[in-house]
């Protein structure tokens, strides 16, 4: 249960805690940190507004909620509960710690209690979906606490990849509230739906928690999983109501409708109270190191964040540092542990995906119980996990969207005490732009969630999975009530030609013995997980996605796990295993890859004067060719090692723009600086796109060329990094003027002479950031935008 509705406890007063401003002054008080704070935003405290309990709630549920310390709901909770009890699907999109959990728990518990009079084995049932195992486990603990007074009328059970076989059997036979995730729904429950028929027949509610996470390819997959769930439920005579919870996003009703395929009402006004939040923007200093092509190098965000985490923990300020990568989380925790030493060092840990189940559970308990003072975590802990009593949140780099920024910042202050959030900028164009343009964070609305349920690379495997579950019928593709996207009907003949489906009359059937659900990973990964194994002992350290293996566990890569560092001895792609040896080199590694691109089809194009802005389908070829060794604290490049890995091909969607000789003449760009100007503009535009589409720069890629064979002109491409596209390039096409204007402004504002990681250099560049011409990119974008 969230603390959002609970009154202050006697011991939880500001007298016992430093104020957020005092904590910030502690951090910036050292003389060498002068000037690192670029902006401070104060969000004042806000009072809450209550409402009466809706009439249709079961009295025993109200009694149970009051027994937990909550007398009345906030007004937004009451509105959501009322809609749910009326049988309307609804999305609640409000801030962190606003009590979204209670808003869906109350109607679910009411349905379960009302279902006691029914003759079915389960009475009424409900299904809860979380995007992460951590959130699912946290919600299971919360609902057990809340429902304890209700006895055996509520029988919750977890059902995920960590659940033991005997517990799964109990859940299938006895549970009436199943807490799982989309992955288990896709691979376990839906393919075996006949074993779950009693549960599905009685299904009243489906809760989709943290639904803003379902974006891009992952969101498109989940949209198809939910459609498969609806059709299986309909087969058993059930039509469940969907209850969705989301961080604050733009147009959550439309997004929820695209996700579920149903009309969804939206509740967006937040009536919960909020403590003061002091939000600081922080830029690490320049170092004496010299980077690629002589560019200045800033101190890395992980190194700076580790220092701040050390200072906060040493002053007993309970802190979570959010880090964008698994390696970064391990590195920050390791540095803080070493600097604190002794007992304090043992109260700092890392938390990330890829840990074994027992490791994750132990860390969750330690954080929840207050045994840990500091945690360096990936986004697994961003999502709704109830971590009461945090004083501060550090963000090691912009998390990619404003929605995630506020979600992470909201982890602190969850008991309504004041809180501090610090965004530590990475040395890249977007982070540098944001810490010097605070209005882009604090004066702009959050983004819309981008997903594309019609992506054929997503649709095709789910049509096969749906046909294996129940034969597909023509009626499911026709009319206003069609279950699947119109593009699905066009795929059926192609799947039939490939002998994946067989048509009989007006139905299509799956033809093979293997399960189609096992052939696709809904989080965008494909292929088998690569196991990371300690070579000398055979100990399994964890796993990485097959798609990431080339760049993360190649031979010579430094791999971090639970505070220890390992070096990859061998990557066996055929055996899906990376053998590692424990070692402590004073460097990290980053892979380099080269990319080629060809245009398959141009869907649409618009003139910008004589230039063209285009959107369509492309084929991209990648190959990891080398890796760099970088000094841990400064990021200084120590050397480059060549690699021999196979090429990978990707068919996806892209936005691209061309320029003519007249543009080049007007921008004073001759042949000698044209490749560098295009290359610099490409890098900067990739870095800035996450401000306009809900993506990460690692979700997208780019190519630039002085003469592309398909356009016969100088061309810059920015493409989605997932098969079939994820909607990011399309968003870029529709916001191109604002996107490229911000790109130009970011280049212009950077104080470096000829290009650096803060403006036009890229950490992903396969060409070693050569050639780059900062001034040429600025003139070229200015000329392009003039039209």
Q: Judging by beta carbons within 10 Å of its beta carbon (0-12, 13-18, 19+), is residue 296 exposed, middle or buried?
A: middle
| CA nearest to 74, candidates 94, 92, 99 | 99
Q: What are phi and psi of 22, to 5 degrees?
A: -65, -40
Q: For residues 568-574, give the mean pLDDT.
A: 94
- pLDDT bracket for residue 8 (50, 70, 90): very low
139 CB neighbour count, 10 Å cutoff: 25
Per-residue pLDDT at 428: 82
Residue that the structure tokens 């969101």 belong to: 219
pTM: 0.78
216-220, 347-351, 363-367, range with greatest mean pLDDT: 347-351
Most confident of 152-166, 183-197, 241-255, 538-552: 183-197
Q: Compute CA distances 99 → 75, 105, 250, 448, whole Å.
A: 11, 10, 20, 22
Average pLDDT over residues 109-119: 83
Predicted local confidence at residue 118, as pLDDT: 60
Q: Residue 10 above 90 pLDDT?
A: no
Which CATH topology does 18-46+275-442 take? Answer: Rossmann fold (3.40.50)
Task: Identify which has the larger pLDDT, 483 or 202.
Answer: 202
Position 668 scores a pLDDT of 96
Q: Is the pLDDT of residue 287 over 60?
A: yes
The share of the chain scoring above pLDDT 90, in percent, equals 58
Alpha helix (H) residue ranges in 437-556: 439-442, 456-469, 486-497, 546-552
What value does the mean pLDDT take over residues 469-486?
A: 84
Task: State how far the Cα of 762 lies from the Cα of 768, in Å rounded to an integer.
Answer: 9
Choosing among 3.40.630.30, 3.30.200.20, 3.40.50.1220, 3.40.50.300, the CATH entry for 59-267 is 3.40.50.300
Rounded mean pLDDT of 708-716? 96
Better-scored residue on pLDDT, 388 or 719: 719
Identify the residue whose tokens are 């002054």: 25
Retrieve residue 16's tokens: 């016992």
Q: Mind listing the pLDDT tens digit for each residue in 57-87? A: 999 999 999 999 999 999 999 999 999 999 9
pLDDT range class, residue 45, cuts 50, 70, 90: confident
**pLDDT digits over 524-539, tens only?**
655 567 999 999 999 9
| Nearest partner of 767 among 648, 626, 644, judged by Cα | 626
């Amino acid at each position: 249960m969230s603390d959002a509705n609970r009154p202050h406890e006697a011991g939880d007063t500001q007298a016992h805690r430093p104020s957020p401003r005092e904590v910030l002054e502690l951090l910036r008080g050292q003389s060498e940190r002068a000037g690192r704070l670029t902006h401070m935003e104060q969000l004042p405290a806000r009072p809450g507004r209550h409402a009466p309990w809706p009439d249709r709630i079961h009295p025993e549920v109200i009694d149970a909620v009051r027994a937990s310390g909550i007398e009345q709901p906030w007004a937004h909770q009451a509105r959501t509960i009322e809609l749910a009890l009326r049988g309307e699907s609804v999305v609640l999109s409000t801030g962190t710690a606003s009590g979204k959990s209670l808003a869906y728990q109350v109607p679910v518990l009411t349905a379960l209690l009302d279902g006691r009079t029914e003759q079915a084995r389960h009475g009424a049932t409900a299904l809860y979906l979380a995007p992460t195992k951590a959130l699912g486990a946290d919600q299971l603990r919360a609902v057990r606490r809340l429902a304890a007074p209700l006895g055996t009328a509520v029988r919750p059970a977890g059902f995920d990849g960590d659940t033991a076989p005997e517990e799964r059997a109990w859940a299938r036979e006895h549970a009436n509230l199943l807490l799982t995730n989309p992955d288990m729904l896709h691979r376990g429950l839906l393919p075996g739906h006949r074993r779950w028929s009693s549960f599905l027949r009685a299904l009243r509610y489906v809760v989709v928690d943290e639904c803003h996470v379902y974006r891009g390819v992952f969101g498109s997959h989940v949209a198809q999983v939910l459609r498969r769930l609806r059709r299986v439920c309909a087969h058993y005579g059930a039509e469940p109501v969907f209850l969705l919870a989301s961080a604050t996003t733009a147009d959550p009703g439309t997004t929820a409708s695209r996700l579920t395929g149903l009309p969804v009402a939206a509740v967006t006004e937040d009536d919960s109270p909020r403590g003061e939040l002091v939000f600081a923007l922080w830029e690490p200093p320049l170092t004496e190191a010299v980077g690629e092509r002589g560019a200045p190098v800033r101190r890395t965000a992980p190194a700076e964040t580790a220092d701040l985490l050390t200072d906060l923990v040493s002053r007993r300020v309970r802190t979570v540092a959010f880090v964008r990568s698994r390696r970064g989380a391990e590195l920050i925790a390791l540095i803080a542990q070493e600097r604190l030493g002794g007992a304090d060092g043992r109260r700092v840990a890392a938390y990330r995906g890829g840990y074994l189940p027992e490791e994750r559970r132990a860390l969750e308990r330690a954080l929840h119980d207050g045994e840990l003072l500091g945690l360096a975590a990936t986004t697994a802990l961003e999502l709704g996990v109830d971590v009461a009593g945090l004083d501060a949140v550090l963000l090691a780099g912009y998390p990619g969207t404003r929605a995630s920024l506020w979600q992470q910042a909201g982890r602190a202050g969850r008991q309504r005490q004041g809180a501090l959030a610090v965004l530590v900028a990475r040395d890249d164009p977007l982070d540098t732009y944001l810490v010097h343009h605070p209005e882009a964070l604090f004066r702009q609305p959050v983004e819309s969630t981008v997903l594309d349920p019609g992506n054929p690379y997503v649709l095709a495997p789910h049509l096969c999975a749906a046909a294996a579950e129940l034969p597909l019928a023509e009626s499911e593709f026709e009319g206003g009530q069609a279950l699947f996207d119109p593009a699905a009907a066009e795929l059926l003949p192609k799947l039939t030609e490939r002998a994946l489906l067989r048509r009989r009359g007006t139905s299509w059937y799956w033809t093979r013995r293997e399960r189609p659900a096992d052939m696709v990973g809904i989080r965008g990964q494909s292929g088998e997980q690569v196991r990371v194994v300690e070579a000398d002992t055979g100990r399994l350290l964890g796993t990485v996605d097959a798609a990431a293996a080339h760049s993360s566990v190649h031979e010579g890569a430094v791999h971090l796990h639970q505070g220890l560092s390992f070096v990859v001895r061998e990557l066996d792609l055929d055996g899906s295993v990376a053998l590692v040896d424990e070692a402590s080199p004073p460097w990290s590694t980053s892979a380099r890859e080269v990319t080629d691109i060809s245009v398959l089809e141009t869907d649409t194009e618009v003139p910008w004067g004589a230039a063209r802005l285009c959107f369509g389908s492309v084929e991209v070829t990648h190959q990891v060719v080398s890796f760099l060794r970088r000094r841990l604290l400064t990021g200084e490049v120590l050397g480059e090692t060549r690699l021999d890995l196979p090429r990978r091909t990707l068919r996806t969607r892209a936005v691209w723009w061309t320029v003519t000789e007249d543009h080049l003449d007007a921008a004073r760009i001759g042949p000698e600086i044209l490749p560098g100007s295009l290359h610099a503009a490409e890098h900067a535009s990739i870095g800035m796109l996450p401000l306009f589409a809900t993506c990460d720069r690692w979700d997208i890629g780019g190519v630039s060329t002085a003469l592309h064979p398909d356009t016969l002109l100088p061309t810059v491409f920015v493409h989605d990094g997932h098969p079939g596209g994820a909607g990011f390039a399309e968003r870029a096409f529709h916001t191109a003027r604002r996107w490229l204007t911000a790109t130009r402004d970011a280049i212009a504002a950077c104080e470096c002479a000829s290009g650096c990681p803060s403006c036009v250099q890229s950490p992903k560049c396969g060409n070693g950031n050569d050639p780059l011409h900062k001034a040429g990119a600025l003139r070229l974008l200015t000329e392009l935008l003039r039209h």
